[in-house]
Amino acid sequence: MAQGVLKQGIAPGRLDPAALAANFSDLHPPLDRHEAHVEADRCYFCYDAPCMNACPTSIDIPLFIRQIATDNPVGAAETIFEQNILGGMCARVCPTEQLCEEACVREEAEGKPVKIGMLQRYATDIAMEGHYQFFERAAPTGKTIAVVGAGPAGLAAAHRLATKGHDVVMFDARPKAGGLNEYGIAAYKATDDFAQAEVDYVTAIGGIDIRHGQALGRDLSLDTLQAEYDAVFLGLGLGGVNALRAENEMASGVDNAVDFIAGLRQASDLASLPIGRRVVVIGGGMTAIDAAVQSRLLGAEEVTMVYRRGKEQMSASLFEQDLAAAKGVTIRHWMAPKRVLTDGDRVTGIELAYTTLVDGNLAETGETAVLACDQVFKAIGQTLATDGGALELAGGKIAVDGEGRTSLRGVWAGGDCATGGDDLTVTAVAEGRDAAESIHRFLMGGGNG
C-alpha cells in the first residue's frame, strides 16, 4: 500500500502518479475495429426497434449498427449525429442499461444486450477524430438567438439553430463551455479532454459565438436578452446545491460533491488534489456515485455513501451502484445525516439517524450511528440558481411545454433547469434540439412561440 493512503485528515498525493493515471483512465476502453464488427453482428436489425424507441434522442440505432457492421463507421456517425450532435458524450455517459440496452431484444433473449453505447462511441470517435462534418448551414436568416448555458441542452440547441441558418450567441458563467460534460462528470468517463473536443466539433459548423463569464442574473438579464435577440433559449442547468439540513454542515471539510467533481475535472495534477483518508458521501444519485468513486480513485482509504432510502429508490443506475461497489465504496441505505462532528475546525465524523418508512413517509427510527470521517461530500440534489423572475416555475424548475416553450413569449428552456424528462445528458440534448426546431418554426412564421 502506498504510504500516502495512510496520511491523516484531508491530504493530497495519496497515490503515486502512475496509480492515479491508471485509476482515471477510460472506464470502458473503446472497441477496436474487430470488436466493433463482432458486436455489430449481434444486432438483429429489429423492425421499429425497441432500442430506438427507448432513446430520448431517437437515434436510428439498428441503422447505425448495420453501418458499422458494413465497415461504414462514418455513415454510422452521421446517422447518430442527425439525431444527437452530442452522440459522442452520450455514448460515454448515457445510462444505456436503463435506456436502449434495456430495450434491446437480446436483453430479453439472453440477458446480454448489444453494446449499443460502445458501438456509438466507436463510430463517433472515428468521425470526430477524422474531423468529418455532416451538416451545412442553411442560407442566413438574419435572426440571432441567445442561448444561455453552454451545456448539453444549449449546445444541441445552438447547433440545430445554426444548421437552420440562424446566428447564435451563447452565454456561459464558467470559463469553459460544455456544462456538466466539462464540470460535472467523472473524469474516467470523459478522458482526453473529450468535452472540449466535442464543443469544438459542435461549434465547427459556424455561426455560434460563445461568451464566457456571463451568468444570468449577474451579468445578464432576461429582459435585455429578450429585447436584443430574436429568441432566447435557457439551458442554465441547476447551479444551486441542496443543503443537508444537518447540524454543523458549514464546517470546513464538508464540501459540495459537484464542486469536488468540477475541481477534479479541471485539475492539471491529480496528485495535488486533497482528499480525506475517510470520506462520507451523502446522496444516492449519479453525482454521489461519481464523488464516491473518484474519492476512492484518488486514494481515500474508506469511502461510504449514505442514502436515506433503500437501494431501489436510488436514482443512480444499478450499473453505477455496482461500479461503486467494485471500486471499494461502501453503500449504506436508510440513514440520514443529523450532525457533522468536528474537533476544532476539523471534521471527525458524521452522526446519522436510521430511517424507515412510516405510512409511506420517511421517518427517523430514533436510533443513530456515527461514522468516523475526515471529509463529507453533499450530493443530495441541485436546484435552480435563479428565482426565475417573470418565468413561471413548476417544482422548482422552469415550466415548459412539449416544445420547450416557457411562460414568456420568445423564451424557451431545456435541460436540467426545465421541467420534463430525466436529468440526463441525452434528455438535455433532445430538449435543446427540439426547442431549436420550435424556435425555428416560430421565427420563420410557422408557430406562435
Partner 1 sequence: MADLRNTFVGIKSPNPFWLASAPPTDKQYNVERAFKAGWGGVVWKTLGEEGPPVVNVNGPRYGAIWGADRRLLGLNNIELITDRPLQINLQEMKAVKMNWPDRALIASIMVPCEEDAWKAILPLVEETGADGIELNFGCPHGMSERGMGAAVGQVPEYVEMVVRWCKQYTRMPVITKLTPNVTDVRKPARAAKHGGTDAVSLINTINSIVSVDLDTFAPVPTVGGKGTHGGYCGPAVKPIALHMVAEIARDPETSGLPISGIGGITTWRDAAEFLALGAGNVQVCTAAMTYGFKIVEEMISGLSNWMDEKGHRTLDDITGRAVRNVTDWQFLNLEYISKARINQELCIKCGRCHIACEDTSHQAITKEKNGVRYFEVMDDECVGCNLCVNVCPVDDCITMEALPIGTVDERTGRVVTGQYANWTTHPNNPMRKGAVEPAE
Binding site for partner 1 (CB under 8 A): 34, 37-38, 41-42, 44-50, 105-106, 108-109
In the bound state with partner 1, the residue whose beta carbon lies nearer, of 36 and 231, is 36
Rg (the chain; Cα; Å) = 23
Beta bridge partners of 377: 255, 281
In the bound state with partner 1, the residue whose beta carbon lies nearer, of 34 and 131, is 34
- Cell numbers for 53: 424507441
In the bound state with partner 1, the residue whose beta carbon lies nearer, of 88 and 113, is 113
In the bound state with partner 1, the residue whose beta carbon lies nearer, of 45 and 325, is 45
The cell 412561440 sits on which residue?
Answer: 449
Contacts of 144 (CB under 8 A, 6+ apart): 166, 167, 168, 169, 229, 230
How many angstroms separate the CA atoms of 235 and 79, rounded?
A: 25
Task: Check if the beta carbon of residue 426 is closer than 8 Å to that of residue 57.
Answer: yes
Q: Which of 252, 261, 320, 325 is CA-nearest to residue 295?
A: 261
Task: Check if the beta carbon of residue 39 is closer than 8 Å to that of residue 119.
Answer: yes
- Closest distance to partner 1 from the beta carbon of 35 (Å): 10
208: Cα within 13 Å, side-chain hemisphere: 30
- Cell numbers for 366: 430514533
- Closest distance to partner 1 from the beta carbon of 107 (Å): 9
- Closest distance to partner 1 from the beta carbon of 241 (Å): 42
- Closest distance to partner 1 from the beta carbon of 116 (Å): 15
In the bound state with partner 1, the residue whose beta carbon lies nearer, of 25 and 45, is 45
- Closest distance to partner 1 from the beta carbon of 109 (Å): 4
How many angstroms separate the CA atoms of 31 and 39, rounded?
A: 9
The cell 491530504 sits on which residue?
Answer: 11
In the bound state with partner 1, the residue whose beta carbon lies nearer, of 105 and 393, is 105
How many angstroms separate the CA atoms of 411 and 147, rounded?
A: 10
- Closest distance to partner 1 from the beta carbon of 65 (Å): 13
How many angstroms separate the CA atoms of 157 and 209, rounded?
A: 13
How many angstroms separate the CA atoms of 381 and 243, rounded?
A: 9
Is the C-alpha dihedral spanning 221, 222, 227, 229 positive or negative? positive
- Closest distance to partner 1 from the beta carbon of 429 (Å): 26
Q: Is 411 helix (H, G, I), strand (E, B) or coil?
A: strand
In the bound state with partner 1, the residue whose beta carbon lies nearer, of 43 and 93, is 43
In the bound state with partner 1, the residue whose beta carbon lies nearer, of 122 and 194, is 122
Task: Check if the beta carbon of residue 83 is closer than 8 Å to that of residue 110.
Answer: no
In the bound state with partner 1, the residue whose beta carbon lies nearer, of 53 and 221, is 53
- Closest distance to partner 1 from the beta carbon of 118 (Å): 16
Q: Is 103 helix (H, G, I), strand (E, B) or coil?
A: helix
- Closest distance to partner 1 from the beta carbon of 335 (Å): 41
In the bound state with partner 1, the residue whose beta carbon lies nearer, of 66 and 160, is 66
How many angstroms separate the CA atoms of 79 and 63, rounded?
A: 7
387: Cα within 13 Å, side-chain hemisphere: 2
- Cell numbers for 263: 475541481
- The DSSP secondary-structure symbol of 189 reads G
In the bound state with partner 1, the residue whose beta carbon lies nearer, of 4 and 50, is 50
- Closest distance to partner 1 from the beta carbon of 242 (Å): 39
